[in-house]
Amino acid sequence: MTMMTPPPLDQQEDEEMLVPHQEFTEGPQPMEVISAEPATAPENQQVEDPPTFKYRWTIENFSRMNIKKLYSDTFFVGGYKWRVLIFPKGNNVDHLSIYLDVADSTTLPYGWSRFAQFSLAVVNQIHGKYTIRKDTQHQFNGRESDWGFTSFMSLSELYDPSRGYLVNDTCVIEAEVSVRKVVDYWSYDSKKETGYVGLKNQGATCYMNSLLQTLYHIPYFRKAVYHMPTTENDMPSGSIPLALQSLFYKLQYSDNSVATKELTKSFGWDTYDSFMQHDVQELNRVLCEKLEDKMKGTVVEGTIQHLFEGHHMNYIECINVDYKSTRKESFYDLQLDVKGCRDVYASFDKYVEVERLEGDNKYQAENHGLQDAKKGVLFIDFPPVLQLQLKRFEYDFMRDTMVKINDRYEFPLQLDLDRDNGRYLSPDADRRVRNLYTLHSVLVHSGGVHGGHYYAFIRPTLSDQWFKFDDERVTKEDAKRALEEQYGGEEELPQTNPGFNNTPFKFTKYSNAYMLVYIRESDKEKIMCNVDEKDIAEHLRVRLKKEQEEKEHKKKEKAEAHLYTIIKVARNEDLAEQMGREIFFDLVDHDKVRSFRIQKQLPFNHFKEEVAKELGIPVQFQRFWLWAKRQNHTYRPNRPLLPQEEAQSVGQLREVSNKAHNAELKLFLEVELGPDLRPLPPPLKTKEDILLFFKLYDPEKEAMRFVGRLFVKALGKPTEILPKLIEMAEFPANEEIELYEEIKFEPNVMCEHIDKRISFKSSQLEDGDIICYQKALTSASRDQFRYPDVPSFLEYVRNRQVVHFRSLEKPKEDDFSLELSKLFSYDDVVERVACRLGLDDPTKIRLTSHNCYSQQPKPQPIKYRGVDHLSDMLVHYNQTSDILYYEILDIPLPELQGLKTLKVAFHHATKEEVAIHSIRLPKNSTVADVINDLKNKVELSRPDAELRLLEVFYHKIYKIFPPGEKIENINDQYWTLRAEEIPEEEKNLGPHDRLIHVYHFTRDPNQNQMASIQVQNFGEPFFLVIKEGEALADVKIRIQKKLQVPDEEFSKWKIAFISLGRPEYLQDSDVVSNRFQRRDIYGAWEQYLGLEHSDTAPKRAYTTNQNRHTFEKPVKIYN
């Protein structure tokens, strides 16, 4: 038996690995693409050393075998049966295919699974060092009982006798297998295994989780958070200090992973923010600023500065005169360059590098004029906790995009910032402070610039033991995993055949350190202090322990739920309390009535005794009614319980009332009260008796309330109960009243007038029906009220909607709110908005709907009368919003919609300036109309100058717009529209002259060899006339004159003919016109004269897209 060192679990493969009996394509695929089981993840814990076995298989007469596949003998590893499977002529490929197979997979019990790391090798029998060996790992199961390499080695290489893999037609194959027992991901207990718990991910909050774990494990910081003053009246969702205290307390004392929703709510974040991946450094800065502000005036004021604040000195020192300018600045973290630096020390060297200000870049020294000077930064002091942000993300001006720097970058376990006799320190620095730091945590980003995953390696006690905090999961890790494996850079896979000079396969490691936290050795004892319960406010301990008890109670209730039924009991008091305040339709909100949790086997009569005890109503005075959901979606009391039903158990009764599994039992408790308000036995109910409920409407107050219930006779008439209704309403005895039946409210309100002269039965009234009534109004008095009768009031209530209006310029801030009706027309809505804004012309209001998912305005505004009702403005897919955005236009919207607005950049012929003009013309206008309009707005070099309009995109000219082209379809949202004067030389082209495109370009020297032919365009493209037979030397003179480039700089420029991105550099004697086709071709912008030089134009700051579509948002904490 031979022991082997297993490869790292996260190693990627350069060959595709597939089960052999599937269709597949050629070409290498990374292992992670096709891994099938969760247990293959590196986080699964190995719980014992793996048994390892090496099996050697000698196959004779190899080339004469005429079979598709061949199995080896069975061998045992880790108590399991294994065998090797080969396809001598390839598994549908021209390579030897070789796999490890579970020999007895067909007889194993359902759900079997086992994990193995293994290597497969074809032995070179002449030179052993050229043996081809490949390693991998797999979670074998019923679906994937074999695993390996479809393209292990080429058949031509295998069958060539001179190569040494077939000797005397014998092939030798080796398999080395390590079986590992793996703890299931779902059963893994972080607290039990490590003593720590993780944080739940809300969607894309791993970046926040890694930062919070890092801050929590700085005990001094945690203690300061605990000592921030909070009270028992605070709510965590509205108080950042309390939410953070609560989170830290749970991290310290909970046995399970902790949720962060309270904290993000305290930030003022909505759900969308939690699904946006932000930047750790930005969140760290914003959170610390918020905490610093919240700590002011408290016992922990200044903690953030004390822990994280350092100072450096920016200086400029003249070389030839005695003048020096210095400025002290503070920092909470340092941003260190990764690109071009091999480690942290190289980054610090670069940070303090001295820059020479000389030549054209001299320094304007006060009282000394322009002077040669040196400029730099030195550190006055470093903080006890040093946060280093590694600049893994940079803006690439060549590519006009953000890129991630995955270069190898080393960082030490101990960082000495006093090295080289304090070369980083300023003369003012206190040299008595020893700036020796030890590494506390490594925050890692795995992925690319557009997303990925964050986690942290932390040493909570600064011992040798590292822990990986990956959202909910915490695992023990060794130092190599936390340090070296997070350096980044490239990793080289072992050469498959070193003897034949094949290029080793390298792949970029996309997981690498992104932020480092160091703690100063001299402050270690103070920073890594003890934090226990006495540091936690009493009210916080009580609150959180109560929360925990409630959680346990709910857990217990959930576990026992199948033994109990929830009975919800509605009474007259509930109807009176809720009607007109919380609800208007039907009778009651069952979630807000008294509920009882009753064992299912308990007889219902026992439940009545419970009600008597709780509500003080003796059993003999109780009568319970079942509720029923009607076909029109209303929910009403349907019938009283029968005596035989009351004799049943609670569980049986629930099944009778509601077939839904585990549904609640909803009852109405009828209690009759005498004149002295004492309960009476319920009256006898026959088929002729109907139980009706009554609501009273007051049009003056626009109010509705529940006034009671009555039994009426089916054949009786409303006129018979009018005196009782008048009494219930406390109206004068002779008051005329009108009656309406509330029939339904979904999807529309149905409320019909009741004829008081016909019987209740003729009006189709039955048990549980609702009658709404009001004072009768004359036609004259009706006009006094907005909603004069019950139907109009219920229609209003059903459709009323409070809408929050925001200015489109400030889309995060509510400006004002209006109560509107969902049935309002477009005109109704804009009229009310205009009235609220004091605007005379409502047509100058333009509205934009709200995107419920992004919590931002939709990209396109609502067209004038483009929707029928307010409800259409508020709907977004299957969600309804209550937010609208408004703009005040300078012209009416109908007029604006008939116009097209174009932003045109005018390039002056003789001045170095570009002016942006907004051209607004009717949609049926032409490019000629745009040019004529522009002529009235710009300064021309000559009165008779002619203009043209170009389409420019990424520094290339794609189109010259014909004067007659309609502007309606021109898009200026993504392309730049450029207007310029037509040069005189272009107006008089000879028959052999050519008008060519000329673009500036550069090449990125850091691009790999495959990309070396690619060019990056920049600057302003232009046209140039070239004459037949004209040499490059002459063309260069005209280009230099046109661009006004100094001789010294222009001498460094290279000129190339570029076609489809491939440059062909030209000599001064080359005839330029020979390179360009004489006929016009589609895609002329891909064939141009390129001017290669460095881009010396001022770099613009990277800004997010200013269009309405914004895919990234800055981190904001609103509270």
Active site positions, annotated: 206, 453
Residue with tokens 């390499």: 149
Residues in a beta bridge with 679 = 673
CA-to-CA separations, 684 to 200, 417, 672, 688, 714, in angstroms, rounded:
59, 94, 12, 11, 15
981-1019: b (≥16 Cβ within 10 Å) or e: beeeeeeeeeeebbebbbbbbbeeeeeeeeeeeebbbbb
Question: Among the residues of 529-589, which ranges form H helices?
Answer: 538-559, 572-578
79-89: b (≥16 Cβ within 10 Å) or e: ebebbbbbbbb
- Beta strands at 845-848 and 883-888: parallel, antiparallel or unpaired: antiparallel
Asked whether the bond before 50 is cis by omega within 30 degrees of 0, the reply is no
| Distance, CA of 886 to CA of 771 (rounded, Å) | 42
Nearest residue to 998 via CA among 909, 1065, 1091? 1091
Cα 768 vs. chain centroid, distance in angstroms?
49
| Distance, CA of 937 to CA of 934 (rounded, Å) | 5
The secondary element (H helix, E strand) that includes residue 452 is strand 451-458
Task: Take residue 834 and report the two structure tokens written for it.
Answer: 């205009």
1027-1045: b (≥16 Cβ within 10 Å) or e: beebbbeebbeebbeeeeb
Task: Take residue 172 and report the two structure tokens written for it.
Answer: 């030798």
Single-letter residue type at 506: K
| Distance, CA of 806 to CA of 833 (rounded, Å) | 11
| Distance, CA of 512 to CA of 404 (rounded, Å) | 11
Dihedral angle computed from the Cα positions of residues 1073, 1074, 1076 and 1077, in that order, rounded to the nearest 10 degrees = 120
CA-to-CA separations, 486 to 280, 406, 459, 585, 708, in angstroms, rounded:
17, 10, 15, 62, 73
Nearest residue to 798 via CA among 633, 590, 638? 633
* Cβ–Cβ under 8 Å, residues 752 and 741: yes
Residue with tokens 């219920």: 794
- Beta strands at 770-775 and 689-698: parallel, antiparallel or unpaired: parallel
| Distance, CA of 605 to CA of 649 (rounded, Å) | 8
Dihedral angle computed from the Cα positions of residues 186, 192, 193 and 195, in that order, rounded to the nearest 10 degrees = 130
- Measured N-to-C along each axis, helices 240-253 and 206-216 cross at an angle, to the nearest 10 degrees, of 80
Task: Take residue 731 and report the two structure tokens written for it.
Answer: 């109206």
| Distance, CA of 511 to CA of 444 (rounded, Å) | 7
E strands of 171-276, at which residues? 171-180
* Cβ–Cβ under 8 Å, residues 380 and 328: yes
Task: Take residue 665 and report the two structure tokens written for it.
Answer: 């039992």
Burial of 666 (0-12, 13-18, 19+ CB in 10 A): buried
Residue with tokens 């009535």: 593
| Distance, CA of 11 to CA of 8 (rounded, Å) | 5
| Distance, CA of 102 to CA of 586 (rounded, Å) | 65
Cα 1064 vs. chain centroid, distance in angstroms?
45
| Distance, CA of 372 to CA of 391 (rounded, Å) | 31
| Distance, CA of 222 to CA of 214 (rounded, Å) | 10
